[in-house]
Amino acid sequence: MAEITSGLVKQLRDKTGAGMMDCKKALTESDGDVEAAVDWLRKKGLATAAKKAGRVAADGLVAVAAGADRAAIIEVNAETDFVARNDAFQGFVRTLADLALTVDGGLDALNAADFPGTERNVADELTHMIATIGENLSLRRVAHCHAQPGGQVATYVHNSVAPGLGKIAIAVALAGDGEDLPTLGRQIAMHVAAARPEAVNVADVDPTHLERERAVLADQARASGKPEAIIEKMVEGRLRKYYEEVVLLEQVFVVDGESRVREVLEKATTSGGAPVAVTGFVSYRLGEGIEKEESDLAAEVAATLGG
């Protein structure tokens, strides 16, 4: 029996795109013969993942799993919406979300975690799923939302295709208690889905975004020809409007269309009389930031004929 070295496993993985455990098994079955191992993987349908890896995956699902004071949100992309309706894919994503809830760390930690019910880790199970489903898949991102001791986490999934799975997933961390808190938390999570805030409060606004907005407002104000002292006041006034657009606590609550979110929280006191507070949130929107390829079949045919 030939020795199956890590170098051989890497060589086969680079050649086929198959998972590490699958490559090791293929080499064992083929007595260390790389080409025979390639054929073994091809017969099992596991050597096709590499060919699919370059294709854009912008569809798929986001998923959320939650405990009392913690939630995990993941995004798993596929090439088509058809795959998102596949029971096997949905089960895979749901299992990943549940696993993410128990794994500390980011994407690397999740990829390295053992996938339940298999001898593979998450990264290798993803490769296995690519070969099984026949599309490029990508575990794109993972985030955790933690509540402070004694607090709660509320979640909401928009365009849900199954419990915890959909196109938009929100988790909101709340400081406080009370029997009405889960309902309020869900309402705030729905608000985040609709209003798309960037920060909980003014102090949390990204300094880069703030400076860019300040520069734009200053240039607009200078076009009026007013003195710099007046321009500075105009900018500060217009920044308040900017905060109302991007800061959760300054936004108008979508549920009643009148109150600011901070006012709603101030009225929702805890059992000890303190106001409820939002300490953080995570918002995932499927495919956000991915440039999806647009296919023009007519143009492709014309180019082929022209060539």
- Quick check: 140 pLDDT over 90? yes
Same domain, 26 and 135: no
CATH number, position 106: 3.30.479.20
Mean pLDDT of 193-210: 93
Strands 165-166 and 138-146: unpaired
Same-domain check for residues 280 and 178: yes
Q: Is there a single domain that holds both residue 236 and residue 258?
A: no
Q: What is the rounded CA–CA span in Å between residue 202 and residue 3?
A: 61
Does 293 reside within a domain? Answer: no
The token pair at 157 is 């999934």
Residue 54 counted as domain residue: no
Write the pLDDT tens digit of every residue in 14-45: 777 677 788 888 899 999 888 888 878 877 76
Residues in the chain: 307
> Is 279 found in the same domain as 162?
yes
Is residue 238 a part of any domain in this protein?
A: yes
* Same domain membership, residue 223 and residue 171: no
Alpha-helical segments (H) within the chain: 6-16, 20-29, 34-43, 49-52, 81-84, 87-102, 107-112, 122-133, 181-195, 207-222, 228-246, 261-267, 297-306
Find which of 31-40, 78-87, 265-274, 288-297 is predicted with most confidence, using mean pLDDT. 78-87
The reply to whether 21 and 39 lie within a common domain is yes
Domain assignment present for residue 23? The answer is: yes
Report the pLDDT value the prediction gives residue 49, as an integer from 0 to 100.
53
Digit-coded pLDDT (tens) for 49-85? 555 555 555 789 999 999 879 999 999 999 888 898 9
**Predicted model pTM:** 0.75
Q: Are residues 148 and 263 in the same domain?
A: yes
Phi, psi of 214 (to 5 degrees): -60, -40
Asked if residue 143 belongs to a domain, the reply is yes
Angle at 67 between CA 65 and CA 70, to 5 degrees: 85
Averaged confidence pLDDT in the chain: 86
In a domain? residue 63: yes
> Average of pLDDT values for 136-153?
92
Instruction: Let me know if residue 297 belongs to a domain.
Output: no
**Whether residue 125 is found in the same domain as residue 174:** yes
Q: Which domain range does residue 224 map to? A: 206-245
d(CA 112, CA 89): 20
- Could you tell me if 14 and 101 lie in one domain? no
218 and 198 in a common domain: no
CATH number at residue 214: 1.10.286
CB-facing half-sphere around the CA of 136: CA atoms within 13 A: 13
Give domain status of residue 302, yes or no: no
Same domain, 217 and 143: no
Number of domains in the chain: 3
90 token code pair: 């949905």
My answer on whether 70 and 170 are in the same domain is yes
Residue 304 pLDDT exceeds 50: no
